[in-house]
Amino acid sequence: MEERQLVRLAQEGSPAAFEELVTKYQSKVYSMALSFTRNREAADDLAQEVFLKAYLALPRFHGRSEFGTWLYRISINHIKDYLRKKGRAKEVSLEDVHEVSFSDKERTEKAEQEREAENRRHILREFVQGLPEKYRVILTLRDIQGLAYEQISQVLHLSPGTVDSRLHRARRMLRKKLVPHLIGERGANEL
């Protein structure tokens, strides 16, 4: 089937048509993300997010350019946003650090901090997975995937008010689960 027909069918709500477009472009989008990030997991996540953004924006695609060009623009913008946010977080790759000498004590402290951070991420993932599905999905889309309320509303076919109230409840439920754990781990004064 011709690409223009697939786009039209996808805009009319055909999941099969959009899936065919994804199949056609997924390796290109993934390769582009990988070339920017040099991280397979990040590239995979970015590719999925690009297709989600494309799906949400499909009604606004008017065919003034080829679908591939339009998707490429979405990909570039999304990857740039990711890299900009990553840059603000001041993450430094070990490959970017030249001839920095750490004492044994500093190395031990750094390793311990990394283990603690990974442990906290693991616990957080477990608690998020323990939430009821309607709250877990909203929390994941907003706080992990970074989608706007309007996008979540469109994806889940909910009103923005429902998205807001469910997100509030999800965060409250998560906080309620985490607080006893954090108090036990570090003490109440670090909350």
Q: Provide the mean pLDDT of the chain.
A: 80
- Non-local CB neighbours of 37 within 8 Å, separated by 6+ positions: 43, 46, 79, 82, 83
* Residue 72 to residue 32: CA distance in whole angstroms: 9
Q: Is residue 95 part of a domain?
A: no
Q: Is the pLDDT of residue 178 over 80?
A: no
pTM: 0.47
Domain extent at residue 9: 3-88
> What is the pLDDT confidence band of residue 159, given thresholds at 50, 70 and 90?
very high
Residues in the chain: 191
Last residue of a domain, one of 88, 112, 145: 88
The domain tally of the chain equals: 2
What tokens appear for 52 in the block? 């989600």
Q: How many CB atoms lie within 10 A of CB 53?
A: 17
For residues 128 and 77, membership in a common domain is answered with: no
Q: Give the pLDDT confidence of 118-146 residue by residue, as tens digits.
A: 777 777 778 888 888 889 888 877 877 67
CB 155 within 8 A of CB 121: no
Residue 45 CA to its chain's centroid (Å): 6
For residues 13 and 84, membership in a common domain is answered with: yes
Higher pLDDT, 76 or 182: 76
Q: Which helix (H) or strand (E) holds 123?
A: helix 104-129
Q: Is the pLDDT of residue 53 over 60?
A: yes
| Percent of the residues in the chain that have a pLDDT greater than 70, as a whole number | 83
- pLDDT on residue 100: 40
